[in-house]
Every structure is written in structure tokens, then in C-alpha cells.
Amino acid sequence: MILYYHSLVNQVNMKIIKSPAELTRIKTDIIKKMSEKEKLRIRVHMGTSGLASGAKEIYEFMKVELEKRNIDAAIIRTGDMGYSFAEPTIEVKLPGEAPVVFGNVDKLKADEIIEKYIKNRELVDGVLPSNFRTI
């Protein structure tokens, strides 16, 4: 079964944040909830560059195929990372592993990622090493 990221966290808070303390509490709740349910997480980068290169297709493909292959995962739509030269890009985070970004993902590559990396933790060609620091 696929649990969408939205439904994963959206129910934490439905009321207006009335104080900074409440913001902190909600934040803690969200993070807690997210880490409790740590599982396979896939980010599909769907900004304009990504979408123009076919990210939506990959998003749909992942949704359908993971469900078909009985893999529990959270699939998240995000903006682009700036890797325009390698769009569409997706990031796969296996529980307990550092996230790995794959570039130039087409359906064939997506299939390979599921079969080799997601199922067997075996990397495939097209890994994009993280080339930045962040705050």
C-alpha cells in the first residue's frame, strides 16, 4: 500500500497556530510522526525544469509500479534541485541510508532503480553525487 506523504503528515494540525510555542510543538509533532514511520522515501523533483523533462511521468510511474510491486513508500513532489542538465531527477532514501539522487530518469531507469537499488541496495548508473553543502 502506498501512503502519500500528504496523508502522512497532514493530520497533525488543523487549527490556527496561536503562539510561537504552538509552532514549536507542531514542528516537533511533525518530525516525530515522520521519523516514527520511517520508510522508503522518494522525492520526485517537479519544478518547471523537471516537469518539462517528464518528471510527472516518472512520478506516476513510481506511484503505480511501487504499489504493483508491493513496496511501501512515501512519494513526495518537490521543486527542482537545480540539476537542469540531468532532469528528471529523483531522490531515493532507503531507511537507514543516505539519500541518493538519480539523474536523467526515464521509465527504464526508474524500473532499474526499483529493481536494483530499492530492492537490493545496488546502485545503478546515473547517480548524481551531492555537490553542495547546505545550512
Identify the helix (H) or strand (E) that includes residue 51.
Answer: helix 48-52
Cβ atoms of 75 and 87 within 8 Å: the answer is no
Q: Cell triple for residue 6? A: 500528504
- Smallest distance, Å, CB 109 to other proteins? 12
Residue 102, phi-psi category: left (phi > 0), alpha (psi -120 to 50), beta (remainder) = beta
Distance in angstroms (rounded) separating the CA atoms of residues 31 and 109: 31
List residues binding other proteins (CB under 8 A): 5-6, 9-10, 12-13, 16-20, 22-24, 26-27, 30-31, 34, 43, 45, 47-49, 51, 76-86, 89, 91, 101, 103, 120-129, 131-135
- Smallest distance, Å, CB 115 to other proteins? 10
- Smallest distance, Å, CB 110 to other proteins? 16
- Smallest distance, Å, CB 127 to other proteins? 4
Q: Cell triple for residue 14? A: 488543523
